[in-house]
Every structure is written in C-alpha cells, then in structure tokens.
Amino acid sequence: MRAPLLTSFLLLLAFAIAFGLFVDRRADFRAAEIEARFPPRGEFVEVNGRKMHVLVKGSGPDLVLIHAAGSNVNDTDLALGDRLAEHYRVFLVDRPGHGWSERLGPEFEGPFNANGESPIEQARALSAAVQKLGARDPIVVGHSMGGAVAMGWAVSEPASAIVVISAPTMPWLGGIDASYRVLGSGPGGALIAPLAAAFVPRSYVDTTISSVFQPQSPPPNYVDAAGIMLATRTGALRANNRQVRNLRPFIVEQSKLYPNVTLPVEILHGTEDQTAYHTIHAEPMAALLPDANLTLLHGIGHMPHHIVPDDVFAAIERAATRAGLR
C-alpha cells in the first residue's frame, strides 16, 4: 500500500509544481503585454533604493496628485492633469506598488508600520520623490486611498494645503471585502495573486470599475485610457490588497493627529459614495480639523474627479487661495 500512496503523492506534487510554473509563466506573459501597452510616461526617482514614478507637467504653484487603490497616474491625469497644468506645476505620482512605482520595504519603517505601507510612510516616500524634482510645500490632492495618503502627508510632511476627495480617512466599524482579506494575506498573495494575474478576464475588470463609479458610469474607454490593467499584475495585486487590508489600524492612529493639522484642508465627498461613506469619513474628519471646508456632492458616487471635475478644480483653487498661493 505504501508504494501506490507514494506514487500518487509524487504525481500530485509534480502536477502542482507544473501548474504553478504554468501560472507564473502566464502571469508574467500577461504582465509583459500590459506593460508594453501602458509604459511609464514620467521619470523615475530613487528614494531609499526604491524607484518612484512621477509625471510632471505644467507650471505654477506646486501640486501633487495621488491616485486611488488599484489605479495609477493615468487615472488622475485623465481626469485633471491637463486642466491643472494650465495653472500649477503638477506632480502626478504612482503610489508605492502601483503603476510603475516600486513597493516599499522595511527601510521605510515608521511609527505606525513595520513594512513601509501605511499612508504616512507612502506620503514620506512620495514627498521625498517630488522634493528631488524640485517641489516645495505643494498642495497635495488625493482621491480615495490617495486621500488617506494625502492626510498622512498632512500630519508628517511639508505642504501648503490638502484636498481630499472621497477618501477613507477615519476609522470605520466592521471589516473589509473578503477578497482584500485573502489576497492581502501572506498565503493569498503568494498563491492566489498569481492565479488572478494569470486568468482574471477583462470583463471582470470592466464590471468592477462600473461598480466603483455607481450611480454614475465610467467615461468611454476608461479602463484603457486610465491604464487600469496595470493593477492586475501579480506585484500590483499583492501591494494593493495588502495596503487595503491593513489600512484601518493605520487610520486609527493617523486620525488621532488630525487636530494638529493647521493647513487649509478642502474635503469633497459624494453623498452616494458606496465605497467610503461621507457620514463615516468626510463629516467626522471635518469636525476634527482646525481649518477644514467640507463640500458634499449630492447624488455623486466615488469618482467625483471624473464626474464633476469642475467641483474638484474649484476646491483646489479654494485651497490655493486659502494657502496664499493665489
């Protein structure tokens, strides 16, 4: 009996190894295709041995644009880049682990994070990158997870003003979606992320994006125009899901520092946002900050920078005026 069992075990092991190699090969092939379609558009800046990707355009007061989870500089550029570049020197950044920026590591260890992935540690890395490109005391604009990083910037790095768009910036009750818990774990990142990278269909990405925009719809050809497929590579999946999975404890600690933020802060949030609720995040944060202005966007979902860009641009202009830059 032992010989047949051993033979079965060895066959199963061989199959598992072969399948794992096939998955990795397919994931790498798809990643190469995606990267060829959406190459880096900016320049690379080294911070503590890690490369950060930054696209710079325009002239005027310095302004940093920080994108959401599962996104990259193409999203913020598509929505606001050219318009802002007429009035500001705009630094569009890929957050660590997203787009073309490398994931951070233990060398970025900070007070709330041993792995360099908290909003504050991301803010410090991005701040160092744009400073190397000449930015000084920028207006920092962040959408969704990028807004959490913008508030991490507010409590740790030099800035003139902060603009937060539909962002998870305050502690919330309950957990997060199961996919983040699984893919953001060590085993899930090691085993399932390559499977997702190898086999996730474009239709799933389209459906996910449509749900994020609800109750509005994405702009035509948004997934391609915003380079969203970059987020389906193995490394990007691991980074994004881990950052979302671990966000809440960082926000708990970060939010304790908000009463010390004396910068002007503009907060925009859609009342129909089903990703980050304005009653949980925007309104309580506005009450904590010494110099905050809250604008609720009635009937708008999670993507105001694409749906009502005029409102977002107006908020940035208000922040610039309040900071004495206009």
How many Cα atoms occupy the beta-carbon half-sphere of 223 within 13 Å?
16
pLDDT at 81: 97
DSSP 19-41: HHHHHHHHHHHHHHHHHHHS---
Phi then psi for residue 211, to 5 deg, are -70, -35
pLDDT at 13: 64
Domain that residue 133 falls in: 40-172+246-322
In a domain, 136, yes or no: yes
pLDDT at 114: 57
The stretch 108-112 carries a mean pLDDT of 63
pLDDT at 177: 79
In a domain, 231, yes or no: no
Q: Where are the beta strands (DSSP E) in the chain?
A: 43-47, 50-57, 62-66, 89-93, 139-143, 161-165, 265-270, 292-297
The candidate with the shortest Cα–Cα distance to 242, out of 309, 279, 207, 193, is 193
Q: Which range has the top average pLDDT, 76-80, 105-109, 117-121?
A: 76-80
* Count of structural domains within the chain: 1
The stretch 142-152 carries a mean pLDDT of 98
Is the dihedral angle over the CA atoms 158, 266, 223, 240 positive or is it negative?
positive
In a domain, 251, yes or no: yes
Distance CA 123, CA 125 (A): 5
Phi then psi for residue 242, to 5 deg, are -70, -40
Give tens-digit pLDDT for 299-311.
999 999 999 999 9
In a domain, 82, yes or no: yes
| Four-CA torsion 291, 297, 302, 306, nearest 10 degrees | -100
In a domain, 145, yes or no: yes
In a domain, 225, yes or no: no
The candidate with the shortest Cα–Cα distance to 305, out of 74, 7, 60, 149, is 74
In a domain, 51, yes or no: yes
pLDDT at 191: 81
In a domain, 186, yes or no: no
- Domain of 291, CATH number, reads 3.40.50.1820
